Structure 1
Amino acid sequence: MAEHFLISITSIFVFGIGAQWIAWRFKLPAILLLLIAGILAGPVFGLLNPDALMGDLFTPFISVSVAIILFEGGLSLRFSELKDSGGVIGNLVSIGVLITWVVISLSSYLILDFGVELSILLGAILVVTGPTVIIPLLRQVRPSGQVGSILKWEGIVIDPIGAMLAVLVFEVILTTGVTAATSAILMSVVKTIFLGTLCGLAGAGIIYIILKKHMLPDFLQNPVSLMIVVLVFTVSNEFQHESGLWATTLMGIVLANQKAAYIHHIIEFKENLRVLLLSALFILLAARVELSELMANLNWKVLAFLGIIILVARPLSVYASSLFSNINWKEKLFLSWMAPRGVVAASISSIFAISLTQSGFEQANQLVPIVFIVIICTVAIYGLPAAWVARKLGVAKPVPNGLLILGAKDWSISIAKKLKDEGIKVLMADSNRNNASQAKSKGLDAFHGNVLSEFVLDDINLDGIGKMVAFTPNDEVNSLATLRFSDILGRSNVFQIPGNNKHNEDEEEVSDHLSGRILFNRDFNYQYLSNRIRSEDDLQTVELTADYTFEDFKNADDEDGRKIPLFHITSNDELHPFTIDYPNNPTKGDKLIYIRSKITNGSGNLTS
């Protein structure tokens, strides 16, 4: 028995994280692969039986995990995003929810032949989208304008609203009498909003005070924050069922929009935790689905029902919600093509189906397979072509291939001008106003300010920027900058020049794990580059051909010495700096920007 439990737990990690990695590697919707992996681990291979593994803990685990995911989602919401799109977001989570609910309920009643009660419940369950599916797709698609903010806010806020709506319908179904049902609805709405808001604000206030007054050591701040999230969710749910989701979402939003307490490390921790919980949730939920039930419900009626959801309910809610907004028709069309269902729909349907079946609703056993069919199909239909649709509609940002250069000195300005001449977007940043002004005088975009400032990201425009190089003379500043931007651009996309103390054995360089990827060559520190690159003429460009390969370039010496490549620009204009940790592999059609390893100094002698 113990060995079987071990195999089940291992399956969750292997199939879950494996699906996440494959999704990232091949740019596929992670949720789709997680659902497939869960079905493989459960009913296909028989490695995982969630009910046998977790027993009565299954439902609480799902609920707490969803609460943590919504808290993490709330941490990504900024009130500044509501300035232009707040009206549309508000309409989508009110008018849009109502329209979606009505259309899906009618469709399930007329097409699926569900009873009135179950039709209304199914409609309430399927109004949600959710951050578990929206946020990964937004990272992949990178929509421009207001679209990204609208979808992110809608996906996060609509989850607790949809959960509350589903709970209300569920309670009404089990309540007899119109008067009793009406009283139950009003009381539930008031308690959910009031108690959820009260608990959420209290939880955010506690975390704020703890962080602001430094009442905990660093190593306990993340665990205590997680404890408070779970505590708030539980307390709120004890007063009113499913109000905990609203409480934890509100907690995240409040903490994200205060500027006095530093919460960056909490955001990073919750992002990592979200990946683990999301993987486990979908593996467990999918593993509970019986393939026979799934296939038995996959018929023309369900496909017609799915068509109504995609082609009628979503476009109708989007166009009604954005009727008097400044969103253009292309943005509306893309919003209409982005409503995949996620973990809340899966978890709520699983929980309610059991109770309703026990209460005598025979059709309730169809809820779970139909909801999973909708989840799988909407994730596939919306997610797989999402990037292509966004590009065709012109609402996708280009691949962020630009370069942020920290440190605007003469030699780094020469590098920036050379890259700009080759079609690469370049943004320079320097805390010295004169340096930033000099870069601007050369026709370059430049930002004057300290990139280590807490609020610099509110001022600097990183649109189109995908990589950062630190060229300042201060090794510690370079390292701190790469650590700061590794959270934004990814650790593999932040670089710095070698330390200036590399030749002095009495002084230690900054540790590798506390710095960015080291550029060019161990000898190419600040002093070397400032001496070597006096103007843009010292930088050369060569294009590789079938007759002149990268091997030919490396083996070719000229009268000035060996050629040292600095940057590699691919045939589709992707920029890759040369580093000491991983060799570039330029091919035919790629360009190399390089300098020669020897120059003539002022006295006429060759130096290296």
Structure 2
Amino acid sequence: MRRPLWLITLAAASFLVGSAVPATGSTPIPGTSLQVVELGPVKQAVPFRATANFSWGVFNGGPPPYTLNVTATATDPSFEVEVFPSSFTIARDTLREVRVNVTTPADGEGRTATIRVRFETTAPVVASLEVNAILTARATPASVDVMTAFLAIGAVIAIGFTASLIFERTRVPDLLILIFLGILLGPIAVALFQISFVPPGALEVATPYFTALALMFILFDGGLNLRISEIVKNLGIVGLHTGLTFVGTVFAVAFVSVVLLGYGWLVGLLLGAVLSGTSGAVVIGIVRSLHVSPETKIILTLESVITDVLSVVTALALLELLRSGPGAPVAIVFTDLGQAFLVSLAFGLVAGFVWLLLLKRLEGKPFAYMLTIAVLFALYAVSETSGGSGAMASFVFGLVLGNHVDFARRFRIRARFVIDDQIKQFHSELAFVIRTFFFVFLGVSITFEFAGAWHVSTALPVLQAFNGTFTLFFLGVLAIFGMIVAIRVAGARVVTAIRPKPPSERRILWSLMGRGLASAVLASLPFTLPAFTSPTTAGESYYQAVLAPYESQFINIAFLIILLTVIATTIGVVASERSIGRAAPKPVMAGVDGVGLNWLRELDIEDVEISEEPPRPRR
């Protein structure tokens, strides 16, 4: 006998370390086999003369079919309410979506209405259930004009420059200043001053594009500045550190999600994949300016590159596993991971070598560097559409071009990737602008949705009293953050046990944990796929029913973890850099005048490259 789809969904959502906990995402209609589940937030705030959409799913666990009438009313008669469908018959093992559209008044003072939705069965039995939604109508935030927007852009660049100077003098990373600037220009400006610097809806459209642009350029820049010989020498320790932190974080986050929040294991693993990777945009920019060994820089840089890929691919594979319905093979996850790495590596290497061969013809031509950037854009797109990771392909492409001397010597390629002082200056300034706006954009994007009931539950003593509350949800977020820190501390201890390092570098290894905009994008991705918004198969209905209670929770958790990890990164960097400064003995230099001393201070030894041996003295 086939198990009802809804019972499978409830079992997946309520499994809790061997003991079931009642799921809070659904409500039964008394005396029937029907369940009503929220398919979206039940508390919204929209402008005047706008329409808000609420949706519920009705599932019939059978066996008899039921006939239902659905009605909705608003406590404020100025709100117009429409229900679709208002009457229907639902067969066994069927999920039916009910939508309630509410139009707010044209104008007036801000007001709130409760929307009462009544589900009533008429056959084979008479029963009913009432659920509520809350809608607030408010004035539309004022948008800024073009001149004000230009002024804000100029101020952001100036503040970014000031923040980089602060980092040079105090070792306080600039990213935290820029993120809080974004929060001030985004959610705080809207909430306190009713001013919107970003047009409504623009964030949803711009986020995936800006994330891709920032990751592509920053990872390309990171590969351009790494030496392949150092990577090969440290590949073993990099693999160990990355494997421990990534796998440990995925399962630690899943464990907390299951034990403390009452998630299903697949949902918990999906959240773990979303939060498991450090951000290349966060880490690479900081690492380059730290006073740590080259090995530590390589470990942290490659960890951010690899986990960026691992997070995206693992999350997408788990989504495919959920979308395939109960009983789907777990091998999907490992197949997708292997494909992503092989495709990215192949495209990055081929593009790098082909471009090295073509660069000989372009030497001395104007705009050759911009043509390289054009190839970078094309490489990212081709890699993504072929099942790989555009970010990793960009990193490999930069790695090949940055180590052109080694590759040309090994493969006997007569080509040079020439970057003169002007191009290098342009490249560094372009990277500065992209990085500055990336972190400001990250702050602007931060939103917290505290609408509706909190579908969290635990079987732990004492904490059971907080089931279904924000308190338990927030405790879960803190526990997830604590697990992330614990896994990184354990990974750093393992690495430093194999390769001994001073305490300051060990602190850097575990404290550079900043998550970025990629985590926010991944957190919202499961709820934007057609399988969630408009399911057409039994597997997609299962996917929608499993994930529906967690939409706002995923977004809230992602943004809170981004803030907490960025703050922890800032504190760790400041503490480590200052301890290094105190521990370092002041050098005593003889025979160097003031001009020579200033020249040595400004010299970055990593930028010195000997292209050929000096001529030997004649005898």
TM-score calculated relative to the size of structure 1: 0.60
Structure 2 match to 1:507: none
Q: Is the 8 A contact 1:50 1:58 kept in 2?
A: no
Verify the 8 A CA contact 2:186 2:444 in the aligned structure 1.
Answer: yes
* Correspondences of 1:278-289 after superposition (within 5 Å): 278-289=435-446
* 2:412 maps to 1:264: no
**Cα separation, 2, equivalents of 1:139 and 1:86:** 19
Q: 2:459 — aligned with what?
A: none
In structure 1, what is the equivalent of residue 127 of structure 2?
none
AA in 1 matched with 2:488: R
Q: In structure 2, what is the equivalent of residue 548 of structure 1? A: none
Aligned with residue 318 of structure 1, among 483, 492, 495: 492
Q: CA deviation at 1:91?
A: 1.1
Q: Structure 2: which 5+ residue stretches go unaligned?
A: 1-140, 190-194, 406-414, 452-468, 534-543, 615-619
1:363 corresponds to 2:528: no
- Change in 2 beyond 3 A, CA 1:385/1:52: same
Q: Is the 8 A contact 1:96 1:317 kept in 2?
A: yes
1:222 positional shift: 2.3
Selected match of 1:214 from 359, 362, 377: 362
Distance in 1 between the 2:484 and 2:223 partners? Answer: 27
Deviations 1:59-80, CA, capped at 9 Å, x for gaps: 2342233222221221122123
Aligned pairs for 1:26-175 (under 5 A) are: 26-27=166-167, 28-45=172-189, 46-49=195-198, 52-53=201-202, 56-82=205-231, 85-144=234-293, 146-175=295-324
Conserved? CA contact 1:124–1:166, under 8 Å:
yes
- Check whether the contact 2:524–2:551 (CA below 8 A) recurs between aligned residues: no
Change (3 A) 1:191 1:12: farther
CA separation in 2, counterparts of 1:199 and 1:138? 27
Q: Deviations over 1:409-446 (max 9, x none)?
A: xxxx9554x899xxx79979xxxxxxxxxxxxxxxxxx
Cα offset, 1:314, TM superposition: 0.8
Q: Which residue of 1 aligns with 2:517?
A: 343
1:189 to 321, 337, 352: 337
Q: Tell me the SS of whatever aligns to 1:26.
A: helix
Q: Is 1:300 aligned to residue 440 of structure 2?
A: no
Distance of 1:225 and 1:56 partners within structure 2: 27
Is the contact made by 2:507 and 2:576 (CA closer than 8 Å) also made in structure 1? no
| TM-aligned CA distance change 1:66 to 1:144, over 3 Å | closer
The answer for the alignment partner of 2:396 in structure 1 is 250
Residue 229 of structure 1: how far off its partner (Å):
0.9
In 1, the alpha carbon distance for the partners of 2:514 and 2:582 equals 18
Cα shift at 1:39: 1.6
Tell me how many residue pairs correspond in the alignment. 418
What are the equivalent positions in structure 2 for 1:422-571 lying under 5 Å apart? 454=611
Q: 1:490 matched to which residue of 2? A: none
More strand by share: 2
Structure 1 residues 195 and 137: CA distance shift in structure 2, 3 A:
closer
Counterpart-to-counterpart distance in 2, 1:314 and 1:233: 30
Q: Is the 8 A contact 1:211 1:261 kept in 2?
A: yes
Structure 1 counterpart of 2:433, from 276, 280, 290 = 276
Quick one: which amino acid aligns to residue 346 of structure 1?
A
Counterpart position of 2:146: 6
CA displacement 1:282-311 (0-9 Å, x = unmatched): 33343233356499688333223212211x
Q: Distance in 1 between matches of 2:600 and 2:442?
A: 46
- Residues in 1 aligned to 2:502 and 2:355: alpha-carbon distance in whole angstroms: 41
Cα RMSD between the aligned structures? 3.9
Q: From the superposition, tell whether residues 179 and 109 of structure 1 become closer, same or farther in structure 2 (CA, over 3 Å).
A: closer
For 1:36, the aligned partner's letter is: F
CA positional deviation for 1:353: 4.6
Contact 1:102/1:123 (8 A) holds in 2: yes
Q: Is contact 2:512–2:572 with CA below 8 Å preserved after alignment?
A: no
Given candidates 457, 480, 484, the residue that maps to 1:309 is 484
- The match for 1:21 is 161
Q: Distance in 2 between matches of 1:37 and 1:78?
A: 35
Task: Give me the TM-score of the superposition, normalised by structure 2.
Answer: 0.59
Shift of 1:345: 2.1
Change (3 A) 1:2 1:48: closer
- CA deviation profile, 1:33-74 (whole Å, cap 9, x unmatched): 222122211222233336533664542342233222221221
What is the distance in 1 between the residues matched to 2:425 and 2:202? 30
Matched, 1:235 2:386: no
Secondary structure class of the residue paired with 2:312:
helix
Contact 1:121 1:166 in 2 (8 A): yes
- The whole-number CA distance in structure 2 between the counterparts of 1:163 and 1:400 is 45
Structure 1 contact 353–364 (Cα < 8 Å) conserved: yes
What per-residue deviation string (whole Å, max 9, x for no partner) do you get for residues 552-607 of structure 1?
A: xxxxxxxxxxxxxxxxxxxxxxxxxxxxxxxxxxxxxxxxxxxxxxxxxxxxxxxx
Partner AA of 1:351 in structure 2: L
> Is the partner of 2:196 in helix, strand or coil?
coil
Distance apart, 1:268 and its partner CA: 4.8
Give the partner amino acid of 2:397. M
Q: 1:142–1:396: 8 Å Cα contact kept in structure 2?
A: no
One-letter identity of the residue aligned with 2:393: A
CA 1:68–1:452 in 2, change beyond 3 Å: closer, same or farther? closer
CA shift for structure 1 position 251:
0.9
Opposite residue 280 of structure 2, the aligned amino acid is P
- SS at 1:261's partner residue? coil
Which of 371, 374, 377 is matched with 1:224 structurally?
Answer: 371
Q: Is the 8 A contact 1:141 1:390 kept in 2?
A: yes
After superposition, the C-alpha distances for 1:219-267 in whole angstroms (9 at most, x for unaligned) are x222211111111111111121x52222112111122222142343566
**Contact 1:357-1:365 at 8 Å conserved across structures:** no
Contact 2:257 2:476 in 1 (8 A): no
CA contact (8 A) 1:75 1:267 kept: no
Match of 2:350 among 202, 220, 230: 202
Give the 3 Å change call, closer, same or farther, for CA 190–152 of structure 1 in structure 2.
closer
Aligned to 2:35: none
> How far apart in 2 are the matches of 1:198 and 1:364?
36
Identical residues among aligned pairs (%): 20
The structural deviation recorded for 1:274 is 2.6
Letter in 2 for 1:313: I
1:334/1:198 Cα in 2 relative to 1: closer, same or farther (>3 Å)? Answer: closer
Q: Does the aligned pair in 2 maintain the 1:129–1:158 contact within 8 Å?
A: yes
SS of 2:201's partner is helix
1:121 & 1:223 partners in 2: Cα distance?
Answer: 39
Q: Is the 8 A contact 1:93 1:154 kept in 2?
A: yes
Q: 2:561 aligns with which of 368, 374, 394?
A: 374
Taking the aligned partners of 1:336 and 1:280, their CA distance within structure 2 comes to 26
Once residues 288 and 86 of structure 1 are traced to their aligned partners in structure 2, the CA distance between those partners, rounded to angstroms, is 35
Q: Distance in 1 between matches of 2:258 and 2:428?
A: 40
